């Protein structure tokens, strides 16, 4: 089997790219997490659009905020693939809720970086092939 030669410049670019993506995901999830912890009222309409009542939405927002902050911290310090997978899923769903709730499709498109950055990290680390790989 041929041994793959990796240039030092390539490794440095990948490390720099990794950190840019990690910081981007960290900022996205920390910022949204803090907004959710503060109970951002503008987000209540997204819950209502999928049949979740306002009192339930107000209860869920801080829990979502905690989850988002945890994602931010994990991605910054220990970017497990399972956390990145959740970040991709959650960011996609929260972007998709915009057009579902009656906002223009552009509100979804504008948020594409929110789910594409964690997806890029997941690809950079290599997509999991086995269940146990999600926890590396």
Give the separation between CA 127 and CA 136, rounded to whole angstroms. 11
Is residue 127 a part of any domain in this protein? yes
In a domain? residue 3: no
Give me the pLDDT at residue 7, please.
Answer: 62
Asked, for residue 26, whether it belongs to a domain, the answer is yes
Q: Give the number of other Cβ atoms within 10 Å of residue 47's Cβ.
A: 19
Query: Which pLDDT does position 30 carry in this prediction?
Result: 99
pTM of the model: 0.88
Q: Which residue is listed with tokens 């041929």? A: 2
pLDDT tens digit string along 72-94? 999 999 999 999 999 999 999 99
Cβ–Cβ < 8 Å for 98, 69: no
**Chain Cα centroid distance, residue 94:** 10
**And the tokens for 100?**
């579902």
User: 13: pLDDT confidence band, cut at 50, 70 and 90?
Assistant: low
pLDDT at site 40:
96
- The number of folded domains in the chain is 1
pLDDT band at 25 (very low <50, low <70, confident <90, very high): very high
Predicted confidence band of residue 8 (pLDDT cuts 50, 70, 90): low
Whether residue 4 is contained in a domain is answered as no
The pLDDT score that the predictor gives to residue 78 is: 96
- DSSP run (H or E) holding 91: helix 81-100
The label of the residue with tokens 């504008």 reads 110
| Residue closest to 117 by CA, chosen among 86, 78, 88, 76 | 88
**Residue 72 falls inside a structural domain:** yes
Q: Give residue 5's pLDDT.
A: 61
Residue 42's domain spans which residues?
9-135
- CA dist 9 and 11 (Å) reads 5
Cα radius of gyration rounded to whole Å, the chain:
17
């Amino acid at each position: 089997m041929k041994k793959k030669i990796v240039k030092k410049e390539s490794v440095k670019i990948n490390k720099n790219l990794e950190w840019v993506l990690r910081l981007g995901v960290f900022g996205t999830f920390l910022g949204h997490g803090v907004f959710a912890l503060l109970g951002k009222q503008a987000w209540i309409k997204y819950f209502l659009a999928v049949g979740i009542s306002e009192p339930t939405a107000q209860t869920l927002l801080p829990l979502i905020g905690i989850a988002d902050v945890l994602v931010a911290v994990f991605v910054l310090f220990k970017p497990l693939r399972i956390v990145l997978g959740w970040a991709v899923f959650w960011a996609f769903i929260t972007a998709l809720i915009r057009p579902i709730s009656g906002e223009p499709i552009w509100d979804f498109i504008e948020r594409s970086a929110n789910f594409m950055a964690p997806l890029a990290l997941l690809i950079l680390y290599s997509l999991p092939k086995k269940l146990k790989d999600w926890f590396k």
